[in-house]
A and B are shown apart, each in its own frame.
Chain A
Amino acid sequence: MNGTWHLLTILVTAVFTSNILLTNYLGMCSFLAVSKEVKTSLGLGTAVVFVMAVTCPLNWMINAWVLEPLHLDYLRFIVFIVVIAAFVQVLEMIIERVSETLYANLGIFLPLITVNCAILGAALFMIIRKYTLAESFLYGAGSGLGWALAILAMAGIRQEKVNQSKLPRGLEGPGIALVVAGIMALAFMGFSGMGGGN
Chain B
Amino acid sequence: MMTAFLIGLGVMCAMVLLMTLVILVCDATIANYGPVQIVINGDKEVTVEGGRPLLSALKDRQIFIPSACGGRGSCGMCKVRILEGAGDPLATELPWLNAQERRDKVRLSCQVKVKRPLRIEIPPELLDVRQYRTTVLRLRDLTYDIREVTLQLAPGDRIDFKAGQFIQFEVPPYALTDDPVYRAYSVSSSPSTHDRVELEMRLVPNGICTTYVHKYLKEGDAVTINGPYGEFHLQDSDREMICVAGGSGMAPIKSILMRLDELKSPRKVRYFFGARTGRDLFLVDEMRALERSLPDFRFIPALSAPEPGSGWQGETGLIPAVLERHVTSVANAEAYLCGSPGLINATVAALKRKGMPEDRIYFDNFG
> Do A and B touch directly, given a CB cutoff of 8 Å in the complex?
yes
Contact A105 B91 (CB under 8 A): yes
The listed residue (A66, A71, A104) touching B91 by CB distance below 8 A is: A104
Determine the chain B residues whose CB is within 8 A of the CB of A104 once the complex forms: 90-92
User: How many residues of chain A have a CB within 8 Å of chain B?
Assistant: 25
| Interface-facing stretch out of B19-27, B75-83, B155-163, B187-195 | B19-27
Q: In the complex, A37→B12 CA distance in Å?
A: 40
Once A82-B16, A89-B23, A94-B30 are accepted as A-B contacts, the answer to whether A100 and B11 lie under 8 Å apart by CB is no
Once A83-B19, A93-B31 are accepted as A-B contacts, the answer to whether A75 and B12 lie under 8 Å apart by CB is yes
Nearest chain B CB to A66 CB, angstrom units: 6
User: How many residues of chain B have a CB within 8 Å of chain A?
Assistant: 23
Q: Does B180 contact A (CB under 8 A)?
A: no
Contact A90 B23 (CB under 8 A): yes
Contact A83 B15 (CB under 8 A): yes
Once A79-B15, A86-B22, A90-B30 are accepted as A-B contacts, the answer to whether A101 and B7 lie under 8 Å apart by CB is no
Determine the chain B residues whose CB is within 8 A of the CB of A82 once the complex forms: 15-16, 19
Contact B90 A72 (CB under 8 A): no
Determine the chain A residues whose CB is within 8 A of the CB of B33 once the complex forms: 97
Q: Looking across the interface, which residue of chain B has its beta carbon closest to that of A99?
A: B87
Nearest chain B CB to A88 CB, angstrom units: 10
From 81 to 139 in chain A, residues with beta carbon under 8 angstroms from any chain B beta carbon are 82-83, 85-86, 89-90, 93-94, 96-97, 99-101, 104-105
From 60 to 75 in chain A, residues with beta carbon under 8 angstroms from any chain B beta carbon are 62, 66-67, 70-72, 74-75
Nearest chain A CB to B166 CB, angstrom units: 34
Query: In terms of DSSP, what is the predominant structure of the interface of chain B?
Result: helix
Determine the chain B residues whose CB is within 8 A of the CB of A94 once the complex forms: 30
Once A86-B22, A90-B26, A90-B30 are accepted as A-B contacts, the answer to whether A78 and B12 lie under 8 Å apart by CB is yes
Q: Looking across the interface, which residue of chain A has its beta carbon closest to that of B115?
A: A97
Contact B26 A93 (CB under 8 A): yes
Once A82-B19, A105-B91 are accepted as A-B contacts, the answer to whether A93 and B11 lie under 8 Å apart by CB is no
Contact A86 B23 (CB under 8 A): yes
Determine the chain B residues whose CB is within 8 A of the CB of A66 once the complex forms: 11
Contact B91 A90 (CB under 8 A): no
Once A82-B19, A90-B30, A94-B30 are accepted as A-B contacts, the answer to whether A75 and B8 lie under 8 Å apart by CB is yes
Determine the chain B residues whose CB is within 8 A of the CB of A89 once the complex forms: 23, 26
Q: In the complex, A104→B88 CA distance in Å?
A: 12
Q: Looking across the interface, which residue of chain A has its beta carbon closest to that of B20?
A: A86
Q: In the complex, A142→B115 CA distance in Å?
A: 34
Q: In the complex, A197→B30 CA distance in Å?
A: 41
Q: In the complex, A78→B91 CA distance in Å?
A: 37
Once A70-B7, A70-B11, A90-B30 are accepted as A-B contacts, the answer to whether A100 and B19 lie under 8 Å apart by CB is no
Nearest chain B CB to A184 CB, angstrom units: 28
Q: Looking across the interface, which residue of chain A has its beta carbon closest to that of B8?
A: A72
Determine the chain B residues whose CB is within 8 A of the CB of A93 once the complex forms: 26-27, 30-31
Q: In the complex, A173→B88 CA distance in Å?
A: 30
Q: Looking across the interface, which residue of chain B has its beta carbon closest to that of A105?
A: B91
Contact A101 B19 (CB under 8 A): no
Contact digits for B70-114, partner A, Cβ 8 Å, 1 yes 0 no: 000000000000000001101110000000000000000000010
The listed residue (A72, A83, A99, A101) touching B11 by CB distance below 8 A is: A72
Determine the chain A residues whose CB is within 8 A of the CB of B113 once the complex forms: 100
Q: Does B176 contact A (CB under 8 A)?
A: no
The listed residue (B8, B26, B87, B115) touching A101 by CB distance below 8 A is: B87
Q: Does B4 contact A (CB under 8 A)?
A: yes
Q: Looking across the interface, which residue of chain B has its beta carbon closest to that of A85?
A: B19
Determine the chain B residues whose CB is within 8 A of the CB of A83 once the complex forms: 15, 19
Known contacts A86-B23, A90-B30, A97-B115, then 20 further A-B pairs from the complex at CB < 8 Å, ordered by chain A residue: A62-B15, A70-B8, A70-B11, A72-B7, A74-B8, A79-B15, A82-B19, A83-B15, A83-B19, A85-B19, A86-B19, A86-B20, A89-B23, A90-B26, A96-B31, A97-B33, A99-B87, A100-B90, A100-B113, A101-B90
A residues near B, CB below 8 A?
62, 66-67, 70-72, 74-75, 78-79, 82-83, 85-86, 89-90, 93-94, 96-97, 99-101, 104-105
- Can you list 8 pairs linking A and B with CB atoms under 8 Å apart? A70-B11, A72-B7, A83-B19, A85-B19, A86-B23, A90-B23, A93-B31, A96-B31
